Amino acid sequence: MQVAVVGCGYVGLVAAACFAELGHQVTSVDNDEAKIAALNAGDPLIHEDYLPELIRRHHGTRLTFSSDLPEAVRQSQIIVIAVGTPADSSGEADLSFVETATREIAHAVNGHKIIVEKSTVPVHTNAWIQRAMVFNGCAVSDFDVVSNPEFLREGTAVTDFLYPDRIIVGCRSERALRVMKELYTPLLDGTYAQEPDAVPRPDDAVEKPLYLETSPETSELIKHASNAFLAMKISFINAVAGMAEAAGADIEDVRTGIGSDKRIGMRFLRAGIGYGGSCFPKDVSAFRAIAQSCGCDFTLLDEVQRINDNQLKRFVAKIRKTLWTTKGKRLAALGLAFKSGTDDIRESPAINVIQELLQRDCQITAFDPAAMDRAKAVLGDAIDYAPDPYAAMQNADALLILTEWKEFASLDLTVVKKLLKYPIVLDGRNLYNPKEMAAAGLNYYSIGRTPVEVAHPMPSRARAARFTQ
């Protein structure tokens, strides 16, 4: 099938490469000429497993990159809109990129087109796209609009796309439903997974995805409700972590205890310094704004956001108390990305913690396996950058763990102790067992667990204050 994907961001680029991998003829379009030039020169733009391989495999044959949207539309039967929908100042999704893309598509229509809405959008965007198509000169019979949200996670985006839990297709046209099913056939009948050079199926992937055909409104709600629910799980466990800390309980055991109930599940129940990234913060705000505009009471979402904001503040307060004073302290920060497996620093809790500490006159030396270049573009020379984790901690007053990269969970603790000026580790991602930290002679402060204080415990009054904050 001939497919145009509009937008070369995370979702657009991964979707384009994966549709090519499924055998379709894809034009990936963006109005940023520099991006297109970089992609044509072989730069995959984002750090994502398998993406460079897929682009190499299909570029120039089944996958082309172009800034000529009208031409891509004319050549294609299916046009996927995957442009950004950032939050505006009121927290609502800014749909101006979707509107611009729709207008340009409408002006180029030369026969029947299926327009697929893949950007994360509020309910009723499908209807707005239809209206904009007609306002811009298209006959209703020239197109169908389908809502087909994407559920990929950064870091595992390619395997999430190729081995999805579910594919949701929202539309009322029989013709469009037939075309969408054909688009995804290799994933639905399992033929893709059987190809000799297929991207390997992850162990936890389902055998066969759920394929749900529904109304556009339902499909749009499914996307926002999924992200809001996952964010709610994270805020829930973070709130319980605060209680665990105050009560002297252990949040990791609490998580195991509640997560082993199949109705609850272990996933997205890791306590930490709060969720970040380009999706959850924006989507919780947008969903809240939609609920308000529908006249529905959904203040639960306000709490989800509030707990998330507080979680970061609590961690900064913990750092402050553990260090006694912050001015001039030199801290090693492991992690800049908003989560492991990505170089994305948008809404990164790690960057937010660092910025708070810079305001308190701390000096930071940071290391991240993937996100250093992107962090440099934001933080510049306000911090120092180390070539590896151990170089970052050389003579530091304390070590901060801010992103859950695997390599940060297997540090040589004897070396850590030797390199740090003081034996203090503040772990915002609970990567270590407190017992091993105690055995290594490190004072260890994590989330929702009793601190380990083997060397020079904090004065008892400070400890009491910590528990009441």
Q: How close are the terminal C-alpha atoms of the chain, in Å?
A: 59
Amino acid at site 176: A
Q: What CA–CA distance (Å, rounded) separates 291 from 288?
A: 5
Amino acid at site 59: H
Residues in the chain: 469
Residue with smaller CB distance to ligand UGA, 154 or 397: 154
Residue with smaller CB distance to ligand UGA, 199 or 323: 199
- Map the footprint of ligand UGA across residues 306-325, applying CB under 6 A: none
Q: Which segments of 6-75 does DSSP mark as H helices, in order?
A: 10-21, 33-40, 51-58, 69-75
Residue 188 beta carbon to ligand UGA: minimum distance, rounded to whole angstroms: 20
Residue with smaller CB distance to ligand UGA, 73 or 234: 234
Q: Does the active-site annotation cover 294? A: no
Nearest to 279 by CA among 416, 151, 95: 151
Residue with smaller CB distance to ligand UGA, 311 or 443: 311
Stretch of 144-152, 194-202, 364-372, 391-399 contacting ligand UGA, by CB under 6 A: 144-152
Residue with smaller CB distance to ligand UGA, 230 or 401: 230
- Map the footprint of ligand UGA across residues 34-93, applying CB under 6 A: none
Question: Of the residues 279, 294, 296, 362, which is catalytic?
Answer: 279
Residue 195 beta carbon to ligand UGA: minimum distance, rounded to whole angstroms: 25
Q: What CA–CA distance (Å, rounded) separates 89 from 298?
A: 20
Give the pair of three-digit tokens for residue 189.
């009948």
Q: Are 52 and 156 in contact (CB under 8 A)?
A: no
Residue 282 beta carbon to ligand UGA: minimum distance, rounded to whole angstroms: 9
Residue 278 beta carbon to ligand UGA: minimum distance, rounded to whole angstroms: 6
Q: Are 84 and 192 in contact (CB under 8 A)?
A: no
Q: Check binding of 353 to ligand UGA (CB under 6 A).
A: no
Amino acid at site 25: Q
Residue with smaller CB distance to ligand UGA, 130 or 227: 227
Q: What CA–CA distance (Å, rounded) separates 117 from 150?
A: 9
Q: What CA–CA distance (Å, rounded) separates 338 from 272?
A: 12
Residue 361 beta carbon to ligand UGA: minimum distance, rounded to whole angstroms: 27
Residue with smaller CB distance to ligand UGA, 339 or 449: 339
Residue 153 beta carbon to ligand UGA: minimum distance, rounded to whole angstroms: 4
Q: Are 123 and 221 in contact (CB under 8 A)?
A: yes
Mapped onto helix, strand or coil, the DSSP state of residue 353 is: helix
Compose the 201-240 pattern: x for residues touching ligand UGA by CB under 6 A, - for all others.
Answer: --------------------------x--x---x------
Interface with ligand UGA (CB under 6 A), residue from 112, 153, 172, 181: 153
Give the pair of three-digit tokens for residue 354.
């660092």
- Map the footprint of ligand UGA across residues 398-417, applying CB under 6 A: none
Which phi and psi angles does 375 have, rounded to 5°?
-65, -40
Residue 284 beta carbon to ligand UGA: minimum distance, rounded to whole angstroms: 11
Residue with smaller CB distance to ligand UGA, 101 or 286: 286
Interface with ligand UGA (CB under 6 A), residue from 65, 161, 338, 405: 338
Nearest to 326 by CA among 300, 354, 357: 357
- Map the footprint of ligand UGA across residues 249-288, applying CB under 6 A: 268-270, 272, 275-277, 279-280
Amino acid at site 54: L
Q: How far is CA 349 from the centre of its chain?
A: 12
Report strand pairing: 210-214 vs 166-170: parallel
Enumerate the β-bridge partners of residue 168.
Answer: 212
Q: How many residues bind ligand UGA (CB under 6 A)?
A: 20
Residue 407 beta carbon to ligand UGA: minimum distance, rounded to whole angstroms: 16
Q: What CA–CA distance (Å, rounded) separates 244 from 254?
A: 8
Number of Cβ within 10 Å of residue 247's Cβ equals 11
Which residues does the annotation mark as catalytic?
A: 279
Q: List contacts with ligand UGA (CB under 6 A).
A: 120, 150-154, 227, 230, 234, 268-270, 272, 275-277, 279-280, 338-339
